[in-house]
Amino acid sequence: MKSIDKAVELSAPTTRNVFKRNLTRFAAVLLAALAGLVAVPSAALAAPHQHHDQVPGFYRLKVGDLEVTALYDGTGVFDAHWLNGTKATMDGVVKALQEDPHMLDVVDSGFLVNTGKQLILVDAGAGTWWGGAALGRLVGSLRSAGYTPEEVDIVLVTHLHSDHVGGLTTHDGNRVFPNAEVYVAKAESDFWLSPEIAANAPKDAQPFFQSAQAIAAPYIKAGKWHTFSGSEPIVDGMQLVPLPGHTPGHTGYELSSRGQKILFWGDTIHAQRVQFPHPEVTVVFDIDPAAAAATRNQLLPKLAGGGVLIASPHSSVFPPLGRLRKEGSRYSWVPVVFTDRWDEK
């Protein structure tokens, strides 16, 4: 060992000097830096400012050649009293809520599809017609995603509840999407826009009719309100999927591209943590609860495990996109997970 140390000592004086010089330089830099810190303590040691803004409210992914952007409109909490199920199921919900008070948290959202030829909006959020300050962010989300309301060519409406169409029209009656042609099922339009049905509806339901009529009015006046009653083609590669029950003309829109599919299913589900395990549970907003449950019973088995991407406006998470998995007699939601590699989904 001694001889090796000696050898190192003899052969390495130059290296050692370089190291020493570097060390001195490093110490000088460090001292200068510390001196700087001491000189401006307020800048370096001040409490960090909190930022209360959030990431922009959109999430983009690709379905074949389609660019699909989920647009955040807001968040809310679905009231447990709005759910109808068996006593045993509802007792279970009440108990689960005590352990997990956030299990009925929901988002409201719409979706923008850029086909490469057209810009299609599926549902428009609440605007100022529902949910007060908690909702109505959709246009801001759309702008954050790089688009303007004027660019939207087509709006596909799942149903005429104001949390889905409120964003179409301002409270003073102006069209938010001035160049868009709006499409809605005839059964839906006929129901909500009928003065006779509205006049005979229960008092609690009156605001739904009033808002639907006020929101539709400027598009009807401009000749931009269109109804469909069958399977007429509106957009290439799109299929209409009637999903009656929640409302008379409640409609899903399935778009396909290069073998990939996405279904915009509107209010097929409101409280996914309850209705996926219990598809028979209905909501007080269902015009025909039995039909709404029957629609779920037909649709969910077809979608489970099938790879169809589902756009669910009232998902309990954002982005409100996911797939359905079957677990015994129940279903569960497999959410799309955030990634910035949007073209590799």
Binding residues vs Zn ion (CB under 5 A):
163, 267
- In this structure, are residues 102 and 345 in contact, taking their beta carbons and an 8 Å threshold? no
Min dist. Cβ of residue 123 to Zn ion (A): 8
Give the nearer residue to Zn ion in terms of CB position, either 73 or 267: 267
How far is 158 from 161, CA to CA, in rounded Å? Answer: 9
Cα separations (Å) of 12 from 4, 5, 82? 12, 10, 82
Q: Give which of 311, 334, 328 is closest to 60, Cα–Cα.
A: 311
Give the nearer residue to Zn ion in terms of CB position, either 67 or 250: 250
Residue type, 33: A
Give the nearer residue to Zn ion in terms of CB position, either 114 or 252: 252
Give the nearer residue to Zn ion in terms of CB position, either 66 or 311: 311
Min dist. Cβ of residue 277 to Zn ion (A): 20
Min dist. Cβ of residue 162 to Zn ion (A): 9
Give the nearer residue to Zn ion in terms of CB position, either 163 or 188: 163
Give the nearer residue to Zn ion in terms of CB position, either 66 or 299: 299
Min dist. Cβ of residue 161 to Zn ion (A): 5
Give the nearer residue to Zn ion in terms of CB position, either 260 or 285: 285
Give the nearer residue to Zn ion in terms of CB position, either 157 or 300: 157
How far is 69 from 262, CA to CA, in rounded Å? Answer: 12
Cα separations (Å) of 60 from 67, 112, 120, 182, 319? 7, 9, 14, 23, 9
How far is 107 from 155, CA to CA, in rounded Å? Answer: 20
What per-residue string of b and e applies to 230-266 under the rule 16 or more CB within 10 Å gives b?
A: eeeeebeebebbebbbbbbbbbbbebbbeebbbbbbb
Backbone angles phi, psi at 59, to 5 degrees: -145, 125
Those residues whose C-beta lies under 8 Å from the C-beta of residue 158, and which sit 6 or more positions away, are 122, 123, 164, 243, 250, 251, 252, 253, 264, 265, 266, 267, 313
- In this structure, are residues 246 and 254 in contact, taking their beta carbons and an 8 Å threshold? no
200 CB-contact burial (10 Å; exposed 0-12 / middle 13-18 / buried 19+): exposed
